[in-house]
Amino acid sequence: MVQFYSPNRRSVNRGIISITADNLDAQGQGIARHQGKTIFIPGLLPGEQAQIQLTEEKRQFAKGKVVKRLSDSSHRVAPRCPHFNVCGGCQQQHVMAELQANTKASVLEHLIQRETGVRISAQPIIHSPEYGYRRRARLGLQYHTKQRTLLMGFRQSQTNDVVNIQHCPVLRPELEQLLPPLSQCLSRLNAAKRLGHVELVLADNGPLIVLRHLDPLKPEDKETLRTFSEQYHVAIYLQGEEKALHPLRAEQPAPWYQVGGLKLVFSPQDFIQVNDTVNQQMVAQALAWLDLQPTDRVLDLFCGMGNFTLPIATKVQAVVGVEGVAALVANGQYNAQLNALSNVDFFHENLESDIHQQPWAAQGFNKVLLDPARAGAAGVMAHIVKLAPKKVVYVSCNPTTLARDSKVLLAAGYRLVSVRMLDMFPHTGHLESMALFSREPRAIE
């Protein structure tokens, strides 16, 4: 549920009130009603009674904190992470996974119906493993001069303080097991006071680490890192002040992952989907919804390095991928060659500018896929309508912009055939989804 806050806070009644939560929002906050006002209470589940204190009050809603919980829901579970309630990475480990996913699906359905007037189910959900799903994570590094210690972890909720973590059960086990030795290794560096962050990535050919350092590393620090790399079989990349990546060892193989039976090589800086399990299902669902045929010409907008584009190419006459990041376009072209796909073209274009005169835009396409960032795809929706494709698949990381952009297709005569919630980030408030639009009379599930 989207909430809008104004900087002018109303006076808050500091008294204790008793409430019963009757719903949950996508962020994992309990929702209760008191004297006609909706109250959001972090940590409270539907059906639970509690004494709360209001922390913020507006004309339409208020926020509160639990003073004493008087009952427990059957959907309440013990968080697996020892850092839960301190670390800002997860907000919902106390909520049974099924309730988390169903709540997000309900929020998605409600938002689409409210904004478009279309009543549609976001089921069945594309599910994720509850834990051990993240193959990528960026950890902050913070040196405490007085204690002479280097903290490594995620930011504490609503602060810039780093929570020093030794365990992170949402990480893939291959990455989680690196946390204690990596923290010890970085603490021993002469440059420990001048480190920015460290990123962990699990490629299909092994884990890798990107270390952001603010000053040049001394030879002894590089040797310490080489020893760590060899001992734990990890590829290490250094990112200095110029922000370019440099492999610690020249013989390090390029990282890659597989999707749709293809091998995609990527740079550690490239965007790849964090949840591989959901990504595999998402790509398969998109291809099935598009009902790809050997004569199809497909346009893939915001294509990245070809996560959808290249699997599509194995089934159609031609596919064009358009992306605003030049490095991703170059990797897409490389991966097309690597997989011997000659029916793919990639273009580097700003999809927020006037696209109608671009060379790819003049081509004919009968099917379109788009996977925009959180800002959505307002700049290309009119052009998609102009192309008049039979089917459009929209992959979204922001339900608000999905609903907004859907209106353009609906107004042009498309039907919203199917919607699915993607459980890409269990235990968090992130809501991912995908939608199928069609101009054909028959629904494709």
303 is in an annotated binding site: no
Task: Give the separation between CA 170 and CA 139, rounded to whole angstroms.
Answer: 14
On the CB side of 151, CA atoms within 13 Å amount to 18
On the CB side of 415, CA atoms within 13 Å amount to 10
- List Cβ neighbours of 37 (8 Å cut-off, separation of 6 or more): 60, 61, 62
> Interior CA angle at 155 toward 40 and 225, to 5°?
155
317 is in an annotated binding site: no
DSSP states of 371-425 as a string? Answer: ---TT--TTTHHHHHHH--SEEEEEES-HHHHHHHHHHHHHTT-EEEEEEEE--S
185 is in an annotated binding site: no
Residue of 310, 264, 262 whose CA lies nearest to 286: 310
**What DSSP designation does 440 have?**
S
Question: What tokens does 343 get?
Answer: 């029916």
**What DSSP designation does 361 have?**
G
307 is in an annotated binding site: yes
Q: Which of 382-387's residues contact partners 24+ apart within 8 Å by CB, and which partners?
A: 382/408, 383/355, 383/356, 384/301, 384/408, 384/409, 385/409, 385/412, 386/356, 387/299
343 is in an annotated binding site: no
> Strands across the sheet with 206-213, in order?
162-164, 149-155, 136-144, 195-203, 206-213, 235-239, 245-247
> Interior CA angle at 179 toward 175 and 185, to 5°?
125
Task: Give the separation between CA 224 and CA 189, rounded to whole angstroms.
Answer: 7
Residue of 409, 371, 404 whose CA lies nearest to 387: 409
Asked if 397 is an active-site residue, the reply is yes
323 is in an annotated binding site: yes
81 is in an annotated binding site: yes
90 is in an annotated binding site: yes
- List Cβ neighbours of 359 (8 Å cut-off, separation of 6 or more): 347
Task: Give the separation between CA 125 and CA 122, rounded to whole angstroms.
Answer: 7
Q: Which of 99, 259, 395, 397 is catalytic?
A: 397
What are the distances in angstroms from CA 62 to CA 26, 68, 138, 159, 294? 17, 18, 33, 22, 55
What is the residue whose two structure tokens read 């291809």? 287
E-strand ranges in 171-329 read 195-203, 206-213, 235-239, 245-247, 256-259, 262-265, 297-301, 318-323
Task: Give the separation between CA 353 and CA 383, rounded to whole angstroms.
Answer: 12
Instruction: Output the known binding site.
Output: 81, 87, 90, 168, 273, 302, 307, 323, 350, 371
Binding residues for [4Fe-4S] cluster: 81, 87, 90, 168
> What residues are designated binding site for S-adenosyl-L-methionine?
273, 302, 307, 323, 350, 371
User: Which amino acids are annotated catalytic?
Assistant: 397
